[in-house]
Amino acid sequence: DAVERGDYRHYMLKEIHEQPRAVADTLAERLTEDRLLAAAFGPKAEAAFENIKGVHIIACGTSYHAGLIARYQIEQLANVPVSVEIASEYRYRNPVVPKDHLFVCISQSGETADTLAALRMAKERGYRETLAICNVPESSLVREAGLTLMTRAGPEIGVASTKAFTTQLAALAMLALALGKAREQISPEQEAELVRDLRQLPAQIEAALDLDAPLKRLAELLVDNRHALFLGRGAQYPVAMEGALKLKEISYIHAEAYAAGELKHGPLALVDEHMPIIALVPDDELSEKVRSNLEEVRARGGRLIIFAAEDTGFEADEHSHVMILPRGVSKLTRPALYTIPLQLLSYHVAVLRGTDVDKPRNLAKSVTVE
């Protein structure tokens, strides 16, 4: 193999552990101590981003989840409407493109057939500009998009995407910042603070990787289940979607994600001792709301695995396990941080179930046919 596994049992595990480096590389040379460099998106970006009125983000699979997270961040920092859509849907409807909109496609490989077709269609539709966020410099997507921002994850071999995803989140956080600046929504002081936040991400990921041993034990609780439900709110909702996708892909356990506030509109009916609920509860303005959502689950005898920020007051009991993450983590880096334990948990469940972790059945790394 051109890319060595080293001492790691699987490429996926190696790639999970490469994330601090991959994210640092993706941020490198694009940020100074306290500024996002104008050159980060290339010489044409300034004109392309100026007074932009809306953003359409298109992707598939894990890359789509990165786009969903970016929506929260771009709307927050740039105060501009963002829509996010799966490429295979977008390309077959009649997307209406208002004036001065930016098209963004996200892809690890840059060869996903639906994403590439969506870009080709977008180029005919009168967007202000097209931007590809991609991990493969020589890919079709990069060749054909007007602007590019490369993630620097390095080759990703495991079919289930890990480091490509967190580097996409780093790239998209920079996009949110760039659009916030272009639309004059961010003061130099705020920029300095956001850049400092972003620069902490590699170290935050490194620290989260230390949860490996307890997550391995936790995996034993999930291994015999046929279903699992992931819950989050705000930007943690798409993080939950990505967590569910990882578990599905490599362990073949049926997993779904729900926005925690939607629990009462259906999935609560599924809750019993055979349906583990994995919940994400950072210390944000929604944590109390998630807490009351989880009380509903507890009251119905559901088993909980909670990833919570320190001092959010969750305690383990016979029905719930609590994994603690640091508090005070920036909104910009929190989604990537909460992704790490979910990757490790899925990995360990898959290993216990004896699946082909790096090459799950029926799936391909890059889907180049429709």
Asked if 161 touches ligand G6P (CB under 6 A), the answer is: yes
Residue (of 185, 188, 184, 179) closest to 147 by Cα position: 179
Asked if 339 touches ligand G6P (CB under 6 A), the answer is: no
Give, as ranges, the residues between 258 and 287 that touch ligand G6P (CB under 6 A).
none
Asked if 88 touches ligand G6P (CB under 6 A), the answer is: no
Asked if 367 touches ligand G6P (CB under 6 A), the answer is: yes
Give the shortest CB-18-to-ligand G6P separation in angstroms.
Answer: 16
Residue closest to ligand G6P when measured from CB atoms: 61
Tokens 């040379």, located at residue? 29
Asked if 63 touches ligand G6P (CB under 6 A), the answer is: yes
Active site residues: 365
Q: Which is nearer to ligand G6P, 276 or 360 (CB)?
A: 360
Q: Which of 26, 73, 115, 346 binds ligand G6P (CB under 6 A)?
A: 115
Structural contact between residues 287 and 236, judged by C-beta atoms closer than 8 angstroms: no
Rounded Cα distance, 352 and 223, in Å:
7
Q: 292-295: long-range contacts at Cβ-Cβ below 8 A with a sequence spacing of 24 or more? A: 293/231, 293/233, 293/260, 293/261, 293/263, 293/264, 294/231, 294/260
Q: Which is nearer to ligand G6P, 76 or 355 (CB)?
A: 355
Asked if 62 touches ligand G6P (CB under 6 A), the answer is: yes
- The DSSP code for 41 is G
Q: Which stretch binds ligand G6P (CB under 6 A): 119-127, 155-163, 188-196, 218-226?
A: 155-163
Residue (of 304, 103, 93) closest to 218 by Cα position: 304
CA atoms within a 13 Å half-sphere pointing along the CA-CB vector of 347: 29
Q: Counting Cβ atoms within 10 Å, is residue 216 exposed (0-12), middle (13-18) or buried (19+)?
A: middle
Provide the Cα torsion 255, 257, 263, 269; round to 10°: -10
Q: Which of 19, 107, 236, 293 binds ligand G6P (CB under 6 A)?
A: 107
Give the shortest CB-238-to-ligand G6P separation in angstroms.
Answer: 13
Asked if 365 touches ligand G6P (CB under 6 A), the answer is: yes
Q: Which of 83, 190, 200, 366 binds ligand G6P (CB under 6 A)?
A: 366
Asked if 148 touches ligand G6P (CB under 6 A), the answer is: no
DSSP-derived secondary structure for 162-179: SHHHHHHHHHHHHHHHHH
DSSP-derived secondary structure for 276-341: -EEEEE-SSTTHHHHHHHHHHHHHTT--EEEEEETTS----BTTEEEEEE-SS--TTTHHHHHHHH
Q: Which stretch binds ligand G6P (CB under 6 A): 61-69, 147-155, 225-233, 234-242?
A: 61-69
The two tokens of residue 26 are 């993706």
Asked if 167 touches ligand G6P (CB under 6 A), the answer is: no
Q: Which is nearer to ligand G6P, 86 or 97 (CB)?
A: 86
User: With CB under 6 A, what is the number of residues at the site for ligand G6P?
Assistant: 16
Q: Which is nearer to ligand G6P, 291 or 365 (CB)?
A: 365
Give the shortest CB-156-to-ligand G6P separation in angstroms.
Answer: 8
Residue (of 325, 289, 288) closest to 305 by Cα position: 325
Asked if 60 touches ligand G6P (CB under 6 A), the answer is: yes
Rounded Cα distance, 225 and 334, in Å:
28
Give the shortest CB-131-to-ligand G6P separation in angstroms.
Answer: 15
Binding site for ligand G6P (CB under 6 A): 60-63, 107-109, 112, 115, 159-161, 363, 365-367
